[in-house]
Structure 1
């Protein structure tokens, strides 16, 4: 019986770790989504600008003049990177959710087996 309890304890700890990993991935995904929305807003603002308007980039405490093309390509690069990271995190979330379900099933099977053994005594 002690062996079953030890196994359940181990599985329970693994289950909790997977839940923490899932929460961490979801938090990261939400943060990236916020950054994506911010960059999409900047991209939309660029569309409203004339070619001859001045764009400034904040570098530390200084505003530096920047070419529109350079600023647009920087934002596009960020959006591409963020999109890739979101996809990676979504895959990680799906995988973690699958692992959580497997652990949950394993825990339930062991508990049912232990209850069956107790009932049979």
Structure 2
């Protein structure tokens, strides 16, 4: 009986380590998601600011686009369209990241519950072992 409970405890401990490692990986993925989301949010703000500036210009105003180290003249309508497309793309990426984040948080909560249950089982097994 003692050897089977020891084997069971080892198996539970192994499961606990595997689930804890999986939980750690999910938490790293969440942190990475937050970092990428932060960058996109900054880019979105910058592009919205550019769009506001472009909206203030008259139709015959000169607009330049920075390509590498060179400023290239660009049509105002084209610049406006490009910035709007960029804002649309960034907004889509933010929505996608939000969905991914929600999935990761659900996985994290599930793994956390599993880890807690395994810890409880191990504690119960150890308590039962110490009583006998």
Unmatched 5+ stretches in structure 2 = 1-8
Q: Name segments (4+ residues, structure 1) moved above 2 Å.
A: none
For 1:114 and 1:80, how far apart are their aligned partners in 2?
51
Q: Secondary structure at the match of 1:51?
A: coil
TM-score by length of 1: 0.97
Q: Does 1:23 align with 2:35?
A: no
* C-alpha displacement of 1:21: 0.3
For 1:109 and 1:38, how far apart are their aligned partners in 2?
46
Question: 2:81 corresponds to which residue?
Answer: 73
Q: Does 1:119 align with 2:130?
A: no
TM-score by length of 2: 0.89
Q: How does 1:1-121 map to 2 (within 5 A)?
A: 1-121=9-129
Question: Bigger radius of gyration, 1 or 2?
Answer: 2
1:24-69 superposed Cα distances (whole Å, 9 cap, x missing partner): 0010000000000000000000111111110011112221111000
1:78-107 superposed Cα distances (whole Å, 9 cap, x missing partner): 000000000000000010000000000001
